Chains A and B, each alone.
Chain A
C-alpha cells in the first residue's frame, strides 16, 4: 500500500511539469520524423531488412520515441535523485525509514514511467501513425501484451539504473558511469537501429542482453513478430532479466550499506 502511494505521488510529481512534458512531446515528434525519413530511405533501398516491411520499420521508429522517456532509454531517467542523495549523504535518512530502499525507488520509477508513457508517449505515436504508414495491431490482446511487455521493460530499465546509481556509494560522482551505462543502453536496446538489423553473431549476442527488453522486445510484441508461444517466451525473457538484475541490485545494496561510510554522517 505504501509503495502504491509512492508510485502515485511520483506520477503526480512528473505530471506537474506540463511545459516540460509538452516540450518533450515536441522533441520526440521531431526526432521521430527525422528517424522515420531515414528508415524510409533505408528500407526503400533494402526492403524487408531485418524481417520488417516498411510500415513495421516505421512503427518501430515511433515506438522507440514513445518509449524513450518511459523506459529511460537515454541517460538519467529519474535515478539522478538517488545518486544525489547518496553523494550528499541524505541516503542515511532513507536507510532509517521503515521501507525497503529498492522497492521504494522501484515504486517511484513505475509512477514516473506510467506518466511518461501517457504524457510523452501517446502523442508522438499518434502523430507518427497519422503521417506515416503504420503496422499497429488491431487486436486488443496484442495491445495488452505490449503494455505488459513495456511494464517489464520499465522494470529491467529501473534495475539497471539502480545498479548504476549504487556505484555512487564508491565513486561519489556517478556522472561518468551513468553516461557509459546510458550509451550501452541506447545502443543495445535498439534505440539506434533495430537490433535485427545488427549483423551476424554480434546481433544475436546483443539481442540476448538485458537492454533488448527495453525496446526491441516490446516493439516486436506490438508488431506481432512472435506467435503465441513466442510472445510467452519474449515476456519470460524480460521477466528473467528483471529478476536477475533486481537480485543483483539487492546484493549490491546490502554490500554498500554494510561497508560504506556515509558522507557527512
Chain B
C-alpha cells in the first residue's frame, strides 16, 4: 500500500515537472504575445484597418459563396445554411489556430537570416518564442467573422438538437483548432529543412480551410481520401458535420469514425511534437 503511494507520488512529481515546463512555456508565450499586442496598438489606425481587413478578407470567401448561391439552391447537395455551417466551423478552427500559432511560418526566414540562433540561447522554450513571435491580434478579425457566420448557420440548419449533438459543435471546434495547430507546427518543423517554403504550409492551412468550406461531395473521391487519411483535415468539420446534418460520407466509412476528431487531434499533436523536436535537434545555424 505504502509502496504504491510512493510510486504514485513519483509519477505525480514527474508529471509536475512536465507541467512546470509547459507552464513556463505558456507564461513566456503570454509575455511575448502581450508585448506584440502593445507594439501593434501603437499604430492604432493601422491596427484597426488590418483587423477589419482580416474580417473582410475572410468575408470575401463567404461573399463568393453567397454569390454562388444567388444562382443555385444547392451545392454538392448542401443548402446555403449547411455550407455556412461548414464555412463557420472550418474558419473558426483555423482562425483560433492561426491566432495562437500563425506566426510559425516565419521560422524559415529566421533560419535563413540567422535570427533563430538568438532564440536558442534564451532561457525560454524555443517553441513558445517562435509561436508568440509577432503575435497578431488582428487575426481576431477572421475568428469574429467565422463566429458570425457559424452563429447564423446554427439558427438555420435543420438539426434535431439533442444534448449530444449540441456538445458535438464545441468538440469539433476544439479538435479542429488542435488539428490546424498541429499542421502549423508540422509546417514550421518542415521549414528547418526547406527554409524557403512557407507557402507549402499555406496550402494545407488556408487551402485546407477553403476546401473544408465546401461539401465533400464537390471534390473527387481521391482528394477526400487524401484529407481523411493522409492529412486528416476531414476530422476538423466534414465528418462531424455530416453526422450532425444526417448525411452519409462519400467514402462510406463506419459511423464511429465521425467521433474520432479528438483522438485524431491528439495523434496529430504527438506527430507535430516529434517533428518539431527532430527539426530543432538537427538545426544547424547558417554560420554567417
Using A46-B71, A183-B56, A192-B63 as known contacts, say yes or no to A26 and B199 having CB atoms under 8 A apart: yes
User: Which residues of chain A come closer than 8 Å to B68, judged between CB atoms?
Assistant: 38, 42, 193, 197
Q: Which of B7-15, B171-179, B190-198 lies on the face that meets chain A?
A: B190-198
CB neighbors of A among B191-239 (8 A): 194-200, 202-203, 207, 210-211, 214, 218-220, 223
Q: What DSSP secondary structure best describes chain B's contact surface?
A: helix
Cβ-neighbour of B48 out of A17, A30, A176 (below 8 A):
A176
Contact A42 B46 (CB under 8 A): no
Q: What DSSP secondary structure best describes chain A's contact surface?
A: helix
Number of A-B residue pairs at CB separation under 8 A: 110
The contact sample of 15 A-B pairs, CB cut-off 8 A, is A19-B194, A20-B196, A27-B203, A31-B207, A34-B211, A38-B68, A42-B72, A45-B72, A46-B71, A171-B46, A176-B45, A179-B53, A180-B49, A192-B63, A192-B64
B75 within 8 A of A: yes
Of all chain B residues, the one with the shortest Cβ separation from A131 is B220
Contact B46 A173 (CB under 8 A): yes
Tally of contact residues, B, Cβ under 8 A: 41
CB distance from B203 to the nearest CB of A (A): 4
User: Which residues of chain B come closer than 8 Å to A19, judged between CB atoms?
Assistant: 194-197
Cβ-neighbour of A38 out of B43, B195, B218 (below 8 A):
B218
Compute how far the CA of A187 lies from the CA of B48 in the bound complex, rounded to whole angstroms: 21
Contact A179 B207 (CB under 8 A): no
Interface centre among A46, A49, A180 (most CB of B within 10 A): A180
Interface centre among B53, B75, B214 (most CB of A within 10 A): B53
Cβ-neighbour of B64 out of A172, A182, A193 (below 8 A):
A193
A198 within 8 A of B: yes
CB neighbors of A among B44-92 (8 A): 45-50, 52-54, 56-57, 60-61, 63-64, 67-68, 70-72, 74-76
CB distance from B72 to the nearest CB of A (A): 4
Tally of contact residues, A, Cβ under 8 A: 37
Compute how far the CA of A253 lies from the CA of B282 in the bound complex, rounded to whole angstroms: 49
Cβ-neighbour of A23 out of B45, B47, B198 (below 8 A):
B198
Cβ-neighbour of A173 out of B43, B67, B223 (below 8 A):
B43
User: Which residues of chain B come closer than 8 Å to A101, judged between CB atoms?
Assistant: none
Compute how far the CA of A199 lies from the CA of B200 in the bound complex, rounded to whole angstroms: 35
Compute how far the CA of A19 lies from the CA of B64 in the bound complex, rounded to whole angstroms: 32
User: Which residues of chain A come closer than 8 Å to B45, judged between CB atoms?
Assistant: 171, 176
CB distance from B230 to the nearest CB of A (A): 13
Across the A-B interface, give the 8 residue pairs with the lowest CB-CB distance, nearest first.
A176-B49, A179-B53, A23-B197, A19-B196, A30-B203, A176-B46, A23-B199, A45-B72
